[in-house]
Structure 1
Amino acid sequence: MRITDHEIPGGKDAHLRINVAGLPSGTEIHINVHVYRSKKPGPCVLLLGGMHGDEVNGVEIVRRVVASKALKSLQKGSVIAIPLLNVYGFINFSRSVRDGKDVNRSFPGTKNGSLASRVAYLMSKEILPHIDYGVDFHTGGSTIHNFPQLRVTKDDARALELAQIFSPPIILKNRPIPKSHRLHAYRSGKPILVFEGGESLRIDEDSIQTGIQGIHRILNHEGMLSMPMDQAESKVYDSSKWVRASKAGLVNLMVRAGHGVRKGEVLAYIHDLGTLKRTGIKSPKDGLVIAHVNNPVVSRGDALFHIAS
């Protein structure tokens, strides 16, 4: 296996620091890539965190797995673990890189493009060719709390099989976003499971433990680690819908992520600070709330709930 100028033979581990850019101060920016290789052939699995710099639960999941040193005892195959891809976003508490572009809307990237495009190009050229599949760990966006879940590409039977081995509480089948890491990998025949859990810039221990246990289940199933774990029950959903604020004001939530709801059920009340009237926000369908907003101050059109069905 060769990544940039580094050759990593079977039976060896490596910690690579790949330069991607620099700060105006002259400080170099590196991405830490941890590579673990058994002498025995087997699948190569990618564990990726921090595609968006503020999504700290994904960073922490991969960091803990690397820090545990469990991957140093691979019985077969290889693991490429990247706890933090978007270093710029991380140090600036931001989803994006310095110029405001989203790495996960920049694939496959270009060698001489924007910083986001260059990071995507690094993944496309140096990492994706080596892997058989991967898990891309994300966290809910600003003020949005996601219940632990995996998102898999519709009609990708292998991705669904891997997701069921991972055993999160929720598996959502949907279409990949254009120019995303998942879509680019899918077109190359490499399934990517997208994990979502918690809220950006907030550590959520339940989400972290769900992610770590899922990694262990997959690697144990592949015979790469000997860490037997019970399978958890996953509910599979084929569609989802965002419920948005019809008015501005202060919102009081009646339900939260993880709760089942019925069509017509009141999910929240929005209180108008001028008229002091309240408006009920009702569920458009039966389903499970897989995300809710934590910011009580909302404007018309703001996302309040994500409902899977």
Structure 2
Amino acid sequence: MRKKSAKKSKSMKDKPAAGRTWPRMPDGAVRGTLLGLMWIAGLGGLGFGAVYGYPELRSYAASKLSVEAIEIRLPPLPAWLEVLDTGEQTGRTVEFVNGVKARIIEEISTAARARLGRDPLVRGDLIATRESLMATGWFQSVDSIRRDQPGLVVIEATFVQPFTMVRDAQGSHLVDEQGRLLPLHYPAKSRLARLPVITGVRFARPSQPGMKWEGKDVAAALRLVSFLERPDDRGARPWLSQIVEVDASEYNRTEALWLTTNKGARLLWGRPPGEERGIEVPATTKFAYLEQLHRDYGRVDRDLRELDLVTDRVYAR
């Protein structure tokens, strides 16, 4: 009986007494804990706002701007604009080139704004803007379009590279090496640097920039210009500036191309490089003829009216 009583007494001793309280935290510790929790909540709110709220604020700010007020920052204009020869006096050429630059900037900016919405969060607007810029014919590629600020759009792109010009009754028109039309036309006497202009082509120029100029005569003339222009072990070719035209007017009938000099002389070149047949000498031999003529006479035309470069000797026609 005593054992049971002792066991019961021990059990009652371990049980907490009624009304017993746990130790209280000091008031300062409570306040510190609450302040810490408030700081954590505040920082979390700032982080949430930065991630989710800032773009919305930018969107709201941009929505208050008109599309016309958005600044379009373009890549630098291509250097080839500076080497244009309009056939006019220097002052008039500079004036013309400056006017062309202003028109290019206005044309591209207008194309960008036409598809650019005011909300920077709408990705579809940027995609549509890229398509609009490519349709101008001024760019080989549009690499990125981004909004750096609500009122600023930065465009990173690569301008097309012209190769030469094709001349028709309406003027001189830039084309690339594949014969695709660029969206820029010049006065009839214009040249690009020292490269000859292609004349006498059969078909009218393409209706839109970026389209290829049709005709085997254009393709043949482009191959000849490329052969004359390409830098390689054939030398510097100081005489190339004397050749102002590649005349393709007879190509569709005889497959012959003519070179016209800056004194109006005509040099019969024959078929385009790589397509020679029969007794016609290769293009490298004709090139050597031009080198020799310039070395001996200072001019590739010898100050004559017509020369024939087709066979194994050069003779006046």
**Normalization by structure 1: what TM-score?**
0.25
The structure with the larger Rg is 2
**Normalization by structure 2: what TM-score?**
0.25
Which of structures 1 and 2 has the larger relative contact order (alpha carbons within 8 angstroms, sep 6+)? 1
Larger strand proportion of the pair: 1
